[in-house]
């Protein structure tokens, strides 16, 4: 059989899914990873018997049955349902925005009462027909109180810019519903892999046809890799960095994670607590054991504070900032790639500059597999 030689840059979910499928078809894959571990941002590490999400809370959720079945080959998932709680200056509200939130805010008990309250607030505002930005979108969905207490502060510190300068799709990620239902997602399937996420990537990369090299940055030897005779290079790092930022920098948002052990069984009573005021410098506190219903050593818990920060070339680019300006610049990089990238294909959250959830990342990788192997 005719086999190909691939270089995959990045051992995150995109690169690993591609490597797994390529090796399954008898091809050879070298995976290089600049970090000292595999799995990219879904990396989990066991501390005190708790699977710690080292790069922020990761909850798998999807409505695509084929993707759910696909990921279940690599791990068994538990029945965790994400139900974060918001802390606004000490007032606690259920998320996403639902009847429990409205009841706590205004004392309303029925959907009609809640709708009326929101309508009253909206009537005091002036809107364009189609919201132009996140602020207009949030106000037109939820009214002033919810926007001021639960959205504005969180959003502006998360993204480091005014909610008027952000695309409206970001807030449409969250359900807004008039039922007493605290499930953060509307998707059909949801859970956390029992034993953590790293095992998924380990299994994906376990073939004898896959070589993984950690602590290896593509840019340390870019020309060597490009000229090493690989049939194809799958690049899951930043597309603007690949081209040496020659058309300008795309904008990213970075994060700082502060993880610590506490000598208590239960620190905050929930896996995720959001801090939605503007002054608290962190956006979320994660208590990892609650993703697996309290599993872990007695008397110990691990928590992580998530601090948003500006991105620069020395920081990790966790989120693409998909506003108009960056969309246009990204498109120019795609055009450049068509002309100059040769046998390099760009994939994943950074390579495609998209706010992909894990299921979308797997789907995009499987699309590339189809394209590559003509199936």
Beta carbon nearer to ligand UDP, 109 or 173: 173
Using CB distances below 5 to 8 A depending on partner kind, what does residue 42 bind out of ligand FAD, ligand UDP, none? ligand FAD
Count other Cβ atoms within 10 Å, centred on residue 364: 21
Q: How far is the CB of 18 from ligand FAD (least distance, A)?
A: 9
Q: Choosing among ligand UDP, ligand FAD, none, which partner's interface includes residue 289 (Cβ < 5 to 8 Å by kind)?
A: none
Q: Does 150 bind ligand UDP (CB under 6 A)?
A: yes
Contact partner at residue 274 from ligand FAD, ligand UDP, none, CB < 5 to 8 Å by partner kind: ligand UDP
Q: Shortest CA distance to 237 belongs to which of 10, 5, 3?
A: 10
Q: Which is nearer to ligand FAD, 222 or 331 (CB)?
A: 222
**CB nearer ligand FAD, residue 89 or residue 310:** 310
CA distance 173 to 170: 6
Q: Measured between alpha carbons, how far is 102 from 115 in angstroms, rounded to an integer?
A: 9
CA–CA separation, 290 vs 304, rounded Å? Answer: 13
DSSP 8-state symbol, 238? -
Using CB under 6 A, pick the residue from 55, 154, 311, 346 that binds ligand UDP.
154
Cβ-based nearer residue to ligand UDP, 276 or 352 = 276
H/E stretch holding 104 reads: helix 99-106
Q: What's the min distance (Å) between Cβ of 86 and ligand FAD?
A: 17
Judged by CB under 6 A, the chain residues 157 through 196 that form the site for ligand UDP are 158, 170-171, 173-174
Q: How far is the CB of 95 from ligand UDP (least distance, A)?
A: 6
φ and ψ at residue 361, rounded to 5 degrees: -65, -45
Answer yes or no whether residue 274 interacts with ligand UDP by CB under 6 A. yes
Q: What is the distance, to the nearest Å, from the Cα of residue 86 to the centroid of all Cα atoms in its chain?
A: 19
Distance of CA 135 to the CA centre of its chain: 22
Q: Count other C-beta atoms under 10 Å from residue 108's C-beta.
A: 17
> Which residues are near ligand FAD by CB under 6 A?
9-15, 32-35, 40-42, 55-60, 217-219, 236-237, 255, 318, 348-350, 356-359, 361
Q: Per-residue x/- marks for ligand UDP, 67-106, CB under 6 A? A: -------------------x--------x-----------
CA distances from 323 to 153, 166, 311, 317 (A): 19, 6, 16, 16
Q: DSSP labels for 53-87?
A: ETTS---EEES-HHHHHHHHTT--B-------EEE
Pick what 150 binds: ligand FAD, ligand UDP, none; C-beta below 5 to 8 Å, kind-dependent: ligand UDP
Across the chain, where does the E strand assignment appear?
Answer: 5-9, 28-32, 44-47, 50-53, 60-62, 85-88, 91-94, 189-191, 210-213, 232-235, 252-262, 272-275, 284-287, 301-310, 319-320, 344-346
Instruction: Please choose which of ligand FAD, ligand UDP, none residue 86 contacts, taking the beta carbon within 5 to 8 angstroms, the exact cut-off set by kind.
Output: ligand UDP
What is the closest distance, in whole angstroms, from the C-beta atom of residue 325 to ligand UDP in the complex?
A: 18
Of 18-26, 45-53, 148-156, 333-341, the window that binds ligand UDP (rule: CB under 6 A) is: 148-156
Q: Contact residues for ligand UDP (CB under 6 A)? A: 86, 95, 150-151, 154-155, 158, 170-171, 173-174, 274, 276
């Amino acid at each position: 059989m005719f086999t190909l030689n691939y270089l995959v840059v990045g051992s995150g979910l995109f690169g690993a899914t591609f490597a797994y499928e390529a090796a399954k078809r008898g091809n050879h894959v070298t995976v290089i990873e600049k970090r000292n571990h595999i799995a990219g941002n879904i990396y989990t590490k066991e501390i005190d018997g708790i699977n710690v999400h080292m790069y922020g809370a990761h909850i798998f959720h999807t409505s695509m049955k084929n993707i759910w079945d696909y990921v279940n080959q690599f791990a068994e998932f538990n029945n965790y349902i994400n139900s974060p709680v918001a802390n606004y200056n000490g007032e606690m509200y259920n998320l996403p925005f639902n009847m429990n939130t409205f009841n706590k805010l205004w004392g309303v008990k029925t959907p009609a009462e809640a709708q009326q309250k929101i309508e009253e607030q909206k009537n005091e505002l002036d809107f364009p027909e189609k919201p132009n930005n996140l602020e207009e979108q949030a106000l037109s969905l939820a009214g002033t109180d919810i926007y001021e207490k639960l959205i504005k502060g969180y959003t502006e510190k998360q993204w480091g810019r005014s909610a008027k300068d952000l695309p409206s799709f970001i807030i449409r990620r969250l359900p807004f519903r008039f039922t007493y239902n605290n499930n953060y997602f509307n998707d059909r399937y949801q859970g956390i892999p029992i034993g953590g996420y790293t095992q998924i990537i380990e299994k994906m990369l376990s073939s004898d046809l896959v070589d993984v090299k950690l602590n290896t940055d593509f840019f340390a030897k870019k020309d060597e890799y490009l000229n090493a005779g690989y049939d194809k290079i799958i690049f899951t790092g930043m597309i603007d960095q690949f081209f040496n930022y020659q058309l300008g920098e795309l904008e990213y948002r970075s994060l700082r994670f502060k993880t610590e052990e506490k000598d208590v069984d239960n620190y905050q009573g929930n896996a995720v607590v959001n801090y939605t005021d503007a002054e608290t410098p962190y956006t979320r506190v994660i208590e990892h054991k609650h993703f697996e219903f309290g599993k872990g050593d007695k008397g110990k818990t691990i928590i992580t504070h998530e601090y948003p920060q500006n991105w620069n070339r020395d920081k990790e680019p966790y989120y693409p900032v998909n506003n108009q300006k960056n969309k246009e610049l990204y498109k120019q990089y795609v055009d450049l790639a068509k002309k100059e990238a040769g046998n390099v294909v760009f994939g994943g959250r950074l390579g495609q500059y998209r706010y992909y959830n894990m299921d979308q990342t797997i789907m995009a990788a499987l699309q590339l597999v189809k394209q590559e192997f003509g199936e």
